[in-house]
Structure 1
Amino acid sequence: MTFEFVGRLLAAFACGVAIGLERQIRQRTAGLRTITLVACGACLFVSLGTLMGTGVTQIAAYVVSGVGFLGGGVIMREKGSIHGINTAATLWCAAAVGVLSGTGYYGPALAGTIAVLTANTVLREISRAINAAPVSTADLIRAYQLTVVCREEDEIHIRALLSNAIHSEPLSFQSLTSRDCSDHPPRVEVAATCRTHPSHQTRLEQIASRISMEKGVSSVSWSANEAEPVPE
């Protein structure tokens, strides 16, 4: 029984090291030691159930939920983007490999390790290749703001031009606001917001160029926010 227990623990350790090395090389939050400890810990808990003759599946369920909390600790949100989801998923998979090793399923544990390493290496390069594809093929949307500074008496005319131009496809008109400037003679800043695919940005540039030639317009500018995936 002792030799069998040691064999299962060594299998979990070896699988954890294999997965953890890849994470450590990439300098991730959860590296070699963390991944190996998760795999060994999962193996120990399941082995305890085997040694005591209790329900292994119940203990495995507790391991899954416990590792879920651990994975949540490596997920961080910064400047609108989320980091650490892949590392959290790797921790979860390492626990699964440890559970398989602890129950004596060495073949499935090895297969799981290979699957995790393949996902973090081969699929990583495929993901990069897809992300490098032209933006015209990506399912993205971006918010743009077009700002026009004009004479006070031309405000209504400029608002009408912006509204008519941006209401047309492929631009999705969002808002139109005005505010007084502290210039003399009196000036008004008219700002229009729209959303569209980044490939249609030239349409916005054409509108800006057209309005800049209007009499009474002193300046025209536009800005874009970070592109976001289109909601499902």
Structure 2
Amino acid sequence: MADPGLIFGLSLRIFVAMVLGAAIGMERQWRLRTAGIRTNALVSVGACLFVFMGAVGLGENPGADPTRVAAQVVSGIGFLGAGVILRDGFNIRGLTTAATLWCAAAIGSLAGAGMEVMALIGCAAIIATNTLLRPLGRFINGRQRHAGALLQADDEDEPAEYVLEVVTTDKSEPRVRALVLQAVDRPEYTLRSLDIRPGRSSQTKVLAGVSAQHAGDTAGLEVAVQRIGLDPKVTSSRWWPAETDD
């Protein structure tokens, strides 16, 4: 029979891996990325369980090397990360999300190895990298756009990302979601994501990530905001340019 103390300790490590993985995924899901809370939490817990198998299961064999399991987790998570990397014309999307999944596996491995403190520090570093370094990236991109101002006319032909937000009540969410889908169903737009988030005072936010073929194709969004805003169940509607990094 397994030692109850060992089972409790391993269960605690799984819980730490799940919580830290979910914290990493929360930032990704908030930015409407493909791998969100559940995906990062599952990656972290899965890596933790694989480390258990190497440290506890294979540890019963004196000739086994538990570190080989962790090494296979590092390489194997690359297949999952490749699934979120997409090529959109000359642009590559999803690299940051794929790297975040890889880091979530590292956090789970640390938690599974009993290094909870290092897992917590690593989780904080990953979230800080995806949030605090974002303004620096925008600043550098802004300098590059300023240096290439002579090519501004050509930039208008490149695709652009936008977010359409509609606030409604919880009961009217299915109806408003259908209105949003109908509004973005236009030849110049491609629906990238649709997210439903709880708001305040029994309200719900419907967020649609839209890709436009050209940077100046915003007239359809203006029309969509005006038409959706006429619905009596809609509290507010707006759109804004999405962040171009992944």
- When normalised by structure 1's length, the TM-score is 0.59
Counterpart residue number, 1:16: 21
Note the residue ranges of structure 1 that are not aligned, 5 or more in a row.
138-197, 202-222, 228-232
The one of 72, 77, 86 equivalent to 2:82 is: 72
The one of 103, 108, 124 equivalent to 2:118 is: 108
TM-aligned CA deviation for residue 49 of structure 1: 1.2
TM-aligned CA deviation for residue 67 of structure 1: 0.5
TM-aligned CA deviation for residue 43 of structure 1: 0.2
Could you list the runs of 4 or more consecutive aligned residues of structure 1 that deviate by over 4 angstroms after TM superposition? 223-227
What is the CA–CA distance in structure 2 between the aligned matches of 1:11 and 1:136, rounded to whole Å?
45
Greater C-alpha Rg: 1
The one of 119, 128, 142 equivalent to 1:118 is: 128
TM-aligned CA deviation for residue 65 of structure 1: 1.2
Q: Which amino acid aligns with 2:54?
A: G
The one of 42, 48, 56 equivalent to 1:43 is: 48
What is the CA–CA distance in structure 1 between the aligned matches of 2:76 and 2:43, rounded to whole Å?
10
Q: Which amino acid aligns with 1:76?
A: L
The one of 2, 7, 15 equivalent to 2:7 is: 2
TM-aligned CA deviation for residue 18 of structure 1: 0.7
The one of 76, 92, 106 equivalent to 2:102 is: 92
Quote the sequence identity (%). 47
Question: What is the root-mean-square deviation of aligned Cα atoms in Å?
Answer: 2.1
Q: Which amino acid aligns with 2:127?
A: L
Q: Which amino acid aligns with 1:40?
A: V
Counterpart residue number, 2:92: 82
The 1:119–1:101 alpha-carbon spacing in structure 2 relative to 1, beyond 3 Å, is: same
Q: Secondary structure at the match of 1:77?
A: strand
Q: Which amino acid aligns with 2:101?
A: L
Q: Secondary structure at the match of 1:51?
A: helix
TM-superposition CA deviations, 1:63-92 (whole Å, max 9, x none): 111100100110000111000000000000
Q: Which amino acid aligns with 2:66?
A: V
The 1:84–1:134 alpha-carbon spacing in structure 2 relative to 1, beyond 3 Å, is: closer
Note the residue ranges of structure 2 that are not aligned, 5 or more in a row.
1-5, 159-246
What is the CA–CA distance in structure 1 between the aligned matches of 2:55 and 2:43, rounded to whole Å?
18
